[in-house]
Structure 1
Amino acid sequence: MQPPASNLSLFSPSAFLLLGIPGLESLHTWLALPFFSMYLMAVLGNCSILLLIKTDPRLHQPMYLFLCMLSFTDLVLSTSALPKMLAIFWFGAGHIGFSACLAQMFFIHSFTAMESGFFLAMAFDRYVAICKPLRHTSILTGARIATIGGAVVARGVVFFSPHPFLVGQLPFCKSKVIAHSYCEFMAVVKLACADTAITKAYSLTVASLIGALDVLFIALSYGLILRTVCRLPSKQAGLKALGTCASHICVILVFYTTAVFTFLTHRFSHGSIPRHVHIVIANVYLLVPPTLNPIIYGVRTKQIRERVLWGLHFQKSV
């Protein structure tokens, strides 16, 4: 229970102090090494995916266009948090301006929602490609792909734009210290000296609805795909069809497993999980999907793999 506002010195902070990973301060320098390596791989991998798809007309298909959108989202998502996080770990530069903190909060949460939306869009593409192969190009035209991409972006912006405004209106008192390595919504809200029930309820409702609906429709898409595959006369044809979904299923499992764990522990653990464990998982959640997505698609997708191997062979021959 918060003490009466009259007994507190209320203020609108000009800056917050991010602690990094409380309890593991002595390991910050060493923890930064794997984080930096993963961030570097995420940047190189996703930039490579974007470049490959842009320069190869054969990859200008719905699946790869959605993959482009996913790669761009991964770049923004990881870059929103990792440079500042590395500055904290290596240089102790934990101060972050109030406006910068709100901006970081918006980008992290809105682009996480966009990533989930692009996974749904890619599941829909696989459904159309396998269940309605003759109508694939007529259903997923360039205009419709652009509309779907725009809708995913608009959803993330519209539903998470209120977050910085809601937090920006809250009164703060005493502490400016955020026990986290980035401006996570709940970590900042906990510093407020006011009733934040409505603010927390909005965040919880929006995140739950977006995540649950995306997972539901992704599951529905793959349920219909599995039904279609089981009806194919050739077992080999069925396995080939499922093979085109393998990389997508892998990245979905990576993303939603870490997302659900982070979401539930932060809101419902009530101290049963050590704080440093939660923060490490939250950091991994921002890094692992952007790092693994291009690797999984590069290894599992024949067209991208062949394009990469051709590029390497061309470089050697030159």
Structure 2
Amino acid sequence: MRRGAVARGTGWLWLAPIVLAAALLFAAAVGETRIPLSTVMTVLASKAGLTAVVLDPVDASVIWHYRLSRAVVAACGGASLALSGLILQALLRNPLAEPYLLGISAGASTGAVTVTVAGFGAGMVSMSAGAFAGALVAFGLVAVLARAARGTGVQTAGIIILAGIAGSQMFNATTALIIAQSASAEQARGIMFWLLGNLSGVRWPDVRLALPVALLGLGVTLWHVRTLDAFTFGADGAASLGIDVRRAQAVLIATAALVTAVMVSIAGAIGFVGLVVPHAMRFLVGVRHARLVPATALAGAVFLVLSDVMSRIVIHGQVLPIGVITALVGAPAFAVVMIRGRQR
């Protein structure tokens, strides 16, 4: 009976590839200059070797090398950040937990800037490795602060949020200090734009990094759906159900930190995705993670792809940081979800 219920609850998943493909095609067709969908399909068919039609080199370059590559990275980033927020909210039992608020994004930004601007590692450490190390250090600091603040009369959820805010501010200040000391004026301008979320420089080599990491994060999260359900009752409740709490927390938190760090190293710190999308999907599909995990990954991917399209067309002739769009859309959406959830 349980298997039948799960099958009925996840029967919509066959629509996920269609919805994601439609979002990617929309992103490839819409931009500073609109390109007909037929031209997009012709370019894709030509790249796949299905047709030998002579293509306009400008259209082919814009669609394949510029728009489609950044759309794929946006989809990977949206799915990864949404799943990261879902993991943290489930493990910490805190509805406000997400990579941006808990300082993981800020720590990853500091690690990436330390490697690229300050030259830490003398070129032997990659930007992604620096971002991953910074994300782990940030989460470790938040955990230490939260543990030290126990017994102060503040509830656990409040302790974690306050520790995350403190850690985030500290790492943001550290990033600003590194930029002020080590970066030139041109570097500082580019880094500050990148820190708000920027996909302008994304190309296919970035896809080869973002796509495997996003699939890894999705696979690990799907593998632990029953563990995430068990954490609904808290760590003690999960342990009583036979869950290896320490191992599960280590694997899932490391996964959340890894996917966040990689996406930050590629596109900068993008807020609100990990906060808004999981709550919206809980409202639509319920709290069982067998349905919630794939729904969150799909919604996060589509949300960031559409946000990237909006960042390219809102102001004619200028590309906005994608983090600006996610904040403008995500903040009101989160308020609506929160109010409706409370009324429900």
TM-score normalised to structure 1 length: 0.32
- Give the structure with the larger strand fraction: 1
